[in-house]
Structure 1
Amino acid sequence: MFVTVLKWLAAIIAVIGAGAYWFVSLPQMDPLMTPERKACIEASPHYVNGQFVPETPHTPVTPSWSFWKEFLFPTPGKTIPAVPMVAEKTDLKALDPQQDVVVWLGHSSFYMQLHGKKILIDPIAATYASPVPFVDKAFDGSNVYGPDDIPDDIDVMVLSHDHWDHLDYDFVRAIEPKVKHVVTGLGNGGYYEKWGYPLSKIAEEDWNTPVKIDDDLTVWVLPARHFSGRMLHRNQTLYASFAFITPDRKVFYSGDGGYDGRFKRIGDQFGGFDLALLEDGQYNENWASVHMMPEETAQTAVDLRAREVVPCHNGKYPLSMHDWDEPYKRIVAASAGKDYYLATPEIGQVVRIGDTQQTFTHWWEQMR
């Protein structure tokens, strides 16, 4: 009897081990780390003692029990809406390509047109922003756009970092024929190469590096104060923010990251921005160095000398304990009296860059 129990126990352990090995070996998990890519990473001054580190050191990240409770079992009407998200689905393919516009696709995903160029930022349509299909479910009604909705001629797609709520395996693979260039931080090109993108499309760079797409568009890879990793390997790819520079427009995208002095430096470097797409959501005092509070987002806009701001990193996934609509309320209050124009579009609503006469509702109030 004892021997039989041992055999069954060994069999169970073997099955669990095989399942775990299969799971961590899925192509979604880690980038292709070639010797050439590894050498570029190790040559970076921001790669210290075996990992990327931000310019301003992190404070300890200490999730509480209440965080894990809400993360695993979000409360309707609190961390997730009690009703479906409102949206105004614009046909991206029907937009006049000569118009400078940005369309929020939910969370931190954007479609943008600048000087005739088509730009895609951190596209995601995953039902679950996690490696397992039962954690961090998208809000009902928030998955409005998918790969089929993306125009066929994207000039450049950028990736700020490799977390599951920014890098969508299925989406990225599906749109490869539509994308001419990918710009991202060091190491992240390994995902795209592994997932079928030719190396000729991929530019993976260190901070403070310009990538010239053509004479009319340069994308700068800039610093961020965040962290990276899909599951087992942490901070082996570089998190980043971006500046998009054309002859007549300057746009900044923050990606994720805590507040520090880099925004003032970036604002000075580029002489201000026409538009800033800024993180505003999934914050908490327990991890204040990796996500900005809304009041810090407002200060970031001032530091950048932004004329217009669209907040993001909200409206789709419950990654913190704050009420799902709190980021909107706090950024509206924090923006009062500031020199920039705050635009608060619904998912899919077109924002005309530079048109500060365009009006937006407090749509989240309709959902209470």
Structure 2
Amino acid sequence: MNRRTFILGGLGTLGVLAGGGVLFTQRPEFGRLPRGERLARLEASPHYVNGKFQNLVPVQVMNDQNGENRFVAMAKFLFGDKSHLSPKQVMLSKKTDLQTLNPAEDVVVWLGHSSFFMQLGGYRILIDPVFSPYASPLFFINKAFPGSNVYTAEEMPKIDVLAISHDHWDHLDYPTIMALKPKVKQIVCPLGVGEYFESWGFAREKLHEEDWETEIKLADDLSVHVLPSQHFSGRFLTPNPTLWCGFAFVTPQRKVYYTGDGGYGEHFKAIGQKFGGFDMMLGENGQYNMAWHAIHMLPEETAQAAEDAGAKQLLPAHGGKFALSRHPWQEPYRELTKASRDKNYKLVTPEIGQLAYIDGQKNEQFGPWWENME
């Protein structure tokens, strides 16, 4: 083979790979970027600057730690030792039949990672559901822990409100969303995320898509507030094309705060003051690293955020299903338990599928189930 043939062959191979990459990103799960009237609405937001969303306080998503740049850190994450990142046995669970729950009871069921089923004021609410075996468009990245996929979309009852906090793959899962499509009555999400749903065939009239500090009044006795978080967005190469958020779910009797993903900031105190505290906080706790400390809380910060928000109970999210960082999988639970000892809230740690009462009155003493696993 002469040099010219070798070069042409190499260029041809690169062309095929590039063409395959383009076709890969055209798959429906990537969705599409905001356009038309939706894009104009995004551009009118004070949080949308120079073609992308920004946090209330400018932060660096990734910073170099121990002399490692983001590419070295990513290589270690993808190809380094992973033996401590996930359990060596099937996840413990106590599966509640969601179809037969008493609709008059205000309860929440952790479904793994940041997915929650909640009954509030007689309404059925599903938060960031991911029932797929991978939180990724690639089958070999972000595999769910064995036994952590206890529920399927088919087992969900009719859903009054589907709440999606942002567009990352471990929160907005295309196969799950499509399987749930016939069951979903209304959708709440931050600005721009509605574009994914419309590209997937959801009717626009089902969408309630708002900016931070906006109340979505779904009924006389149910409001969902879109609240700030300190994070980022994007499903591929375009940075921050859609907004990210937390939610407050409010009925005349109860208030529940879901932080969504995000780093610690002054916004937690502001949210606590605005709502006068919460019956329960579903708080991010896991997948942290000092290299991306600004956009994921450490356990002691999750504890402080619950204090700032005035939560009576804290139920941790963002763990127990996917290893997106390099800390041991039990570490977030162990460290949050330590950090919660002198706090004013009660730490609530059900197993996947186990029923927790939002008022706290009937809650059993949830044990440290993670210590019963390797």
What's the TM-score bracket when you normalise by the shorter of the two chains? Answer: over 0.9
SS at match of 1:211: strand
Equivalent residue for 1:230, pick from 227, 235, 251: 235
1:85-234 equivalences in 2 (<5 Å): 85-151=91-157, 153-234=158-239
The alpha-carbon deviation at position 24 of structure 1 amounts to 1.4
Deviation string, structure 1 residues 118-140 (Cα, Å, up to 9, x no partner): 00000001212122111111111
Corresponding residue number in structure 2 for 1:240? 245
Structure 2's unaligned 5+ residue stretches are none
Equivalent residue for 1:81, pick from 74, 87, 91: 87
Corresponding residue number in structure 2 for 1:15? 16
Identify if the C-alpha distance between structure 1 residues 99 and 60 changes in structure 2 by more than 3 Å, giving closer, same or farther. closer
- Of 101-110 and 14-23, the range deviating more from structure 2: 14-23
Corresponding residue number in structure 2 for 1:36? 37
Normalising by structure 1, report the TM-score. Answer: 0.96
Q: Distance in 1 between matches of 2:13 and 2:60?
A: 41
Equivalent residue for 1:272, pick from 259, 277, 296: 277
Q: Distance in 1 between matches of 2:295 and 2:8?
A: 47
Q: Distance in 2 between matches of 1:204 and 1:250?
A: 21
Equivalent residue for 1:70, pick from 65, 77, 81: 77
Say whether the 8 Å CA contact 1:31–1:189 is kept in structure 2: no
Identify if the C-alpha distance between structure 1 residues 165 and 73 changes in structure 2 by more than 3 Å, giving closer, same or farther. farther
Corresponding pairs, count: 366
Is 1:254 aligned to residue 237 of structure 2? Answer: no
The alpha-carbon deviation at position 284 of structure 1 amounts to 1.3
1:38-53 equivalences in 2 (<5 Å): 38-53=39-54
Give the letter for the 1:21 counterpart.
V
Q: Distance in 1 between matches of 2:81 and 2:50?
A: 37
- Of 165-174 and 352-361, the range deviating more from structure 2: 352-361
The alpha-carbon deviation at position 227 of structure 1 amounts to 0.2
SS at match of 2:111: strand
Deviation string, structure 1 residues 83-111 (Cα, Å, up to 9, x no partner): 11111111111111111000000000000
- Of 140-149 and 100-109, the range deviating more from structure 2: 140-149
Give the letter for the 1:120 counterpart.
L
Say whether the 8 Å CA contact 1:225–1:259 is kept in structure 2: yes
The alpha-carbon deviation at position 49 of structure 1 amounts to 1.6
Q: Distance in 2 between matches of 1:73 and 1:352?
A: 40
Q: Distance in 1 between matches of 2:20 and 2:369?
A: 44
SS at match of 1:175: helix
- Of 350-359 and 139-148, the range deviating more from structure 2: 350-359
Structure 1's unaligned 5+ residue stretches are none
Normalising by structure 2, report the TM-score. Answer: 0.94
Corresponding residue number in structure 1 for 2:371? 365
Deviation string, structure 1 residues 193-233 (Cα, Å, up to 9, x no partner): 11111001011110000111111110000101000000111
Deviation string, structure 1 residues 120-173 (Cα, Å, up to 9, x no partner): 00000121212211111111111111211111x211011111111111000001
- Of 258-267 and 88-97, the range deviating more from structure 2: 88-97
Percent identity over the alignment? 50
- Of 38-47 and 355-364, the range deviating more from structure 2: 355-364
Give the superposed CA RMSD.
1.5
Equivalent residue for 2:325, pick from 316, 320, 326: 320
Q: Distance in 1 between matches of 2:43 and 2:182?
A: 31
Identify if the C-alpha distance between structure 1 residues 312 and 235 changes in structure 2 by more than 3 Å, giving closer, same or farther. same
Q: Distance in 1 between matches of 2:124 and 2:247?
A: 15
SS at match of 1:155: strand
Identify if the C-alpha distance between structure 1 residues 5 and 171 changes in structure 2 by more than 3 Å, giving closer, same or farther. same
